[in-house]
Amino acid sequence: MTVADLQSAGEARRPAIDVLAPEIMDMAFGLIRVLDDEGNPHGPWIGDLGVDELVEILTTMFTTRAFDARMMKAQRQGKTSFSMGSRGEEAIGAVTATVMGAHDMCFPTYRQASYLLGRGRDPLAMMNQVYGNAADENLGTQISGLYTSSEFGFLSISGNLATQMPQAVGWAMAAKIKGDPTVALAFVGDGSTAESDMHAALTFASTYTPPVIVAIVNNQYAISTDEEVARGSAQTFAQRGIGYGLPSLRVDGNDVLAVHGATSWARDRALAGHGPTVIEFVTYRGSAHSSSDDPTRYRPEDEFDEFPLGDPIKRLRLYLQNRGFSNDQANALDEQIRNMIEAKNEEAEAIGTINTGERPSLRHTFELVYETMPPHLIRQRQEAGI
Amino acid sequence: MTNTDESAGPISKMTMIEAIRSAHHVMMERDASVVAFGEDAGAFGGVFRCTEGLQERFGEARCFDTPISELGIVGTAIGMALNGMRPVAEIQFADYMYPGYDQIVSEAARMRFRSAGDFTSPIVVRMPVGGGIYGGNTHSQSPEALFTHVAGLVTMIPSNPYDAKGMLISAIEANDPVIFLEPKRVYNGPFDGDHDKPLVPWSKDPRGEVPEGYYKVPIGKAAIARRGDEVTVLTYGTMVHVAMNAAEITGVDAEIIDLRTLLPLDLEAITTSVRRTGRCVIVHEATRTSGFGAELSAQVQEECFYSLEAPIVRVAGWDTPYPYSQEWEYFPGPQRVADGMLQALKG
């Protein structure tokens, strides 16, 4: 199956939250869509998002796109080592950030900046991390873009793929043991579903049925390879969940209302004690994998423009116009956000970049290995002259 | 050895298995966030019975069986720790640990560092190590150096019931990830390397006298298993008892140091002894090349070079996979350790 085999907006049914996996097996092969090409909502997944909430989501998406573009520019200017954007997939993080509760926990990949921004993280703090400057709250220990924020329920991003998946399941198992009304949201890319961690995560999710949402972001590419390399003979990634007996949905990831509806449904299920849900969000990686690759070598340059699910920002703007938030208002918001990002970037650069200004002390490198620095590290720190 | 803290309760004779079980019991009683799990660790109580009775006492939510997935066991343990629990995960044999190694190395060990202390991963991963049970190459390995090479891990290995319990309690309370290696050949008694002799049970050994309550043996502190003047033997786990036997065979007045915690290492205990004896033998079951003995040898050389009267001797497993029917020819038994001691004395 390809994204070309689309269900039309409004066609997918909305099952009860206590549904059993075998009853909705077809939904792993379909596609939940709410917004049609004219920005009109259809069907049982419409939900009740108000204009203010939608504008808040649009704000996060604009912020993410401007932030990503500015950080990529900074990388090209040699001010940071590395940059990874999420152009085209901003809706998934921006929307799920509004669905999850204050004490829920997100287990992200490196392409969920929109989740962190949507939760309220200051872009300046993220820029300081990207630049590894003296104000970096990560104290220079982690590479550019692999943020952490316990404050906003966002696990430290690992550079190793899919390792967060069994951790999310374990976090949710703990929630279930403690009786906490909280849910884990675990993101994984289409390519990384091939890691053994994914099988372990789904097996444990299946065995212990903890409150976890397993969100597979299918953005069509794993660096240079097409999603089918990891998908193999399966028709969809959502299909993976069926073998584990988990209700599995396939969702238009560029449709704000579909993402909101499906994630809310899965979270309600989890909170009601009905266990995990697997969701495949279908989207498109509009950016390069990272600042280190050249996508023109493996895909047509205009492919994003041709993507049948479109650009999530354009689609939300169109819908908002139908709800009375005009194109001019959206343009003004976008410009205001770009200016905000530019101003914050100036502030961050003034503090320092990877090669200008002060850096966090190397002492943190020694201090952050154990709770208490053991004798051999004290000696090595002294040897390092600090 | 003697417990001075009366709050630790009355003394019972315990095997190392019972002492480990007791540590779980004490900690699960004290702290509702402590959970224990692993393959067959629930109702069955683990293949070595170290978690026996815990499910019955504390319920299926706090002591449970897992699917056969070391990756899943370690990965979910980290997740539970991130959510305020203190998981004690059992890997059935250290030889099965490798599928979980990425979670241990790339995740548990680095969580504090990579998040600048924003998140931590206080897990304990227990696993039986070492040979002596005809387990061949998949049930006999001693992978301690694979853990001591990893910044951010604490690696411990007890040699007797009293230490096992006190060390495991320290491990569970630690806010860093701890690899807890259990030398399976001494689970039931202080095996001294003579496999033809009947095993002396822990009930006949003072180190099998274990307080029933809460006490700790600190992380990072070695113990002197035997005081002596002629040569320092650095060892741990099963080989502590084999070295004691070797000292008896040879009549060498060896000072045998039971390292107990391999990382962070009690360098002071090591250097104090080696500077006094001037001779050093390092003994472990693990293979020799790049084994933990190489690190010990380097540190002794760096710290005690001018006190050394002879080259440092290493007695270790041969650099081969662990064999099956040739177990007792392969195992670094008392005669090989004795030869090592004599070599260090000759210089």
pLDDT, position A260: 98
For residues A100 and A175, give the distance between their C-alpha atoms in angstroms, rounded to a whole number: 15
Which of A113, A148, A111 lies closest to B113 in space, CA to CA?
Answer: A148
List chain A pLDDT tens, one digit each, 386 residues: 455 567 899 999 999 999 999 999 999 999 999 999 999 999 999 999 999 999 999 999 999 999 999 999 999 999 999 999 999 999 999 999 999 999 999 999 999 999 999 999 999 999 999 999 999 999 999 999 999 999 999 999 999 999 999 999 999 999 999 999 999 999 999 999 999 999 999 999 999 999 999 999 999 999 999 999 999 999 999 999 999 999 999 999 999 999 999 999 999 999 999 999 999 999 999 999 999 999 999 999 899 999 999 999 999 999 999 999 999 999 999 999 999 999 999 999 999 999 999 999 999 999 999 999 999 999 999 999 99
> For position A188, which CATH number holds?
3.40.50.970
Please give the structure tokens belonging to residue B236.
């741990």
Domain shared by A149 and A128, yes or no: yes
Query: Average pLDDT over chain B, rounded to whole?
Result: 97
For residues A41 and A123, give the distance between their C-alpha atoms in angstroms, rounded to a whole number: 32
Which of A216, A319, A201 lies closest to A266 in space, CA to CA?
Answer: A216
In the stretch 72-91 of chain B, residues with CB closer than 8 A to chain A read: 72, 74-85, 87
Please check whether residue B120 lies inside any domain of the structure.
yes
Helices (runs of H) and strands (runs of E) counted in chain B: 12, 14
B139 is catalytic: yes
Helices (runs of H) and strands (runs of E) counted in chain A: 14, 9
Please check whether residue B1 lies inside any domain of the structure.
no
Residue B194 has pLDDT above 90, yes or no: yes
Domain shared by B122 and B243, yes or no: no
Distance of CA B336 to the CA centre of its chain: 21
- Kindly report the nearest CA distance between residue B157 and chain A, in angstroms: 18
Please check whether residue B249 lies inside any domain of the structure.
yes
What pLDDT digit, counting tens, does each position of B108-153 carry?
999 999 999 999 999 999 999 999 999 999 999 999 999 999 999 9
Please give the structure tokens belonging to residue A119.
């939760």
Which residues of chain A have a CB within 8 Å of the CB of B75?
A: 163, 165-167, 169-170, 197, 200-201, 204
pLDDT, position A7: 84
Record the pTM. Answer: 0.97
Which among B78, B264, B268 has CB closest to A374?
Answer: B264
Residues paired with residue B231 on neighbouring β-strands, in sequence order: B254
For residues A318 and A311, give the distance between their C-alpha atoms in angstroms, rounded to a whole number: 11
Q: Hey, are the CB atoms on A177 and B85 less than 8 Å from each other?
A: yes
A168 touches A105 (CB < 8 A) = yes
Strands, E assignment, B132-236: 154-156, 178-183, 209-211, 223-226, 231-235
B176 touching chain A per CB within 8 A: yes
pLDDT, position A1: 46
Q: What separation in angstroms does the CA of B214 have from each of B16, B49, B122, B165, B173?
A: 16, 21, 19, 9, 12
Q: Which residues contact A123 (CB under 8 A, 6 or more apart)?
A: A63, A67, A117, A340, A341, A344
Residues paired with residue B70 on neighbouring β-strands, in sequence order: none
Domain shared by A11 and A42, yes or no: yes
Q: pLDDT band at residue B4, thresholds of 50, 70 and 90?
A: low
End-to-end CA distance of chain B: 33
Domain shared by A296 and A385, yes or no: no
pLDDT, position B2: 47
Domain shared by A336 and A379, yes or no: no
Domain shared by B69 and B173, yes or no: yes
Which residues of chain B have a CB within 8 Å of the CB of A149?
A: 118
Please give the structure tokens belonging to residue A42.
């259809």
Burial of B299 (0-12, 13-18, 19+ CB in 10 A): middle
Domain shared by A112 and A135, yes or no: yes
B65 touches B54 (CB < 8 A) = no
Which among B85, B119, B268 has CB closest to A156?
Answer: B119
Q: Which domain holds residue A34?
A: 3-355
Domain shared by B200 and B227, yes or no: no
Packed helices A123-131 and A51-76: angle between N→C axes, nearest 10 degrees: 20
Number of domains in chain A: 2
